[in-house]
């Protein structure tokens, strides 16, 4: 499997083809995004009900993304996750794992050993996040130099 390949869950091909279509037609993707946003706003829903806000709160932080990417390779125990993301504090790793589990993106399995062993893995919902996350990671990689240059101009 190529280094940038991601195991795509069975339900993800439609998402993958939509992502490819958005790449091929960014203006059309923008129009669909704006139309969906306007439809939602005109529906009179409270801001807290916005499905995008809650999801982006979780996956929009760097720790969640790094943990999901780490677990995409294989299930990990807490210590292995800590080594894989060395600049995360134990407290932040614990909180992020709890939040990802609460949102159904990862599972936590306690093995009855002495001492107990806990393993974290992506759930099918977490695996379904890999396709759109791959698009975001590729975009970030492709545009990183431009972003750094823009920051340098404004800082």
Q: Which residues of 26-49 are buried (b: 16+ CB within 10 A; e: fewer)?
A: eeeeeeeeeeeeeeeeeeeeeeee
Residue bearing tokens 């339900």: 11
pTM: 0.74
pLDDT tens-digit map of 80-107: 999 999 899 999 999 999 999 999 999 9
Q: Higher model confidence: residue 8 or residue 119?
A: 119
DSSP string, 115-150: S-EEEEEE-HHHHHTHHHHHHHHHHHHHHHHHHHHH
- Residue 105 near residue 68 (C-beta atoms within 8 A): yes
How does pLDDT run across 109-127, given as a tens digit for each residue? 999 999 889 999 999 999 9
> What does the pLDDT read at residue 59?
81
Per the model's pLDDT, the better-predicted residue between 59 and 72 turns out to be 72
Instruction: Give the least confident one: 11-25, 52-66, 89-103, 123-137.
Output: 11-25
d(C-alpha 146, C-alpha 12), whole Å: 30
């Amino acid at each position: 499997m190529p280094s940038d390949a991601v195991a795509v869950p069975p339900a993800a091909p439609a998402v993958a083809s939509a992502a490819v279509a958005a790449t091929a037609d960014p203006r059309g993707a923008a129009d669909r995004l704006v139309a969906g946003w306007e439809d939602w706003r005109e529906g009179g829903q409270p801001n807290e009900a916005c499905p995008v806000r809650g999801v982006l709160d979780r996956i929009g932080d760097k720790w969640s993304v790094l943990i999901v990417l780490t677990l995409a390779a294989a299930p990990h125990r807490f210590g292995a996750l800590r080594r894989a993301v060395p600049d995360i504090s134990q407290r932040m790793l614990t909180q992020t794992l709890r939040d990802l589990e609460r949102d159904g993106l990862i599972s936590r399995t306690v093995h009855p050993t002495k001492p107990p062993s806990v393993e974290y893995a992506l759930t099918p919902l977490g695996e379904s996040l890999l396709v759109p996350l791959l698009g975001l990671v590729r975009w970030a990689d492709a545009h990183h130099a431009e972003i750094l240059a823009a920051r340098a101009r404004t800082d």
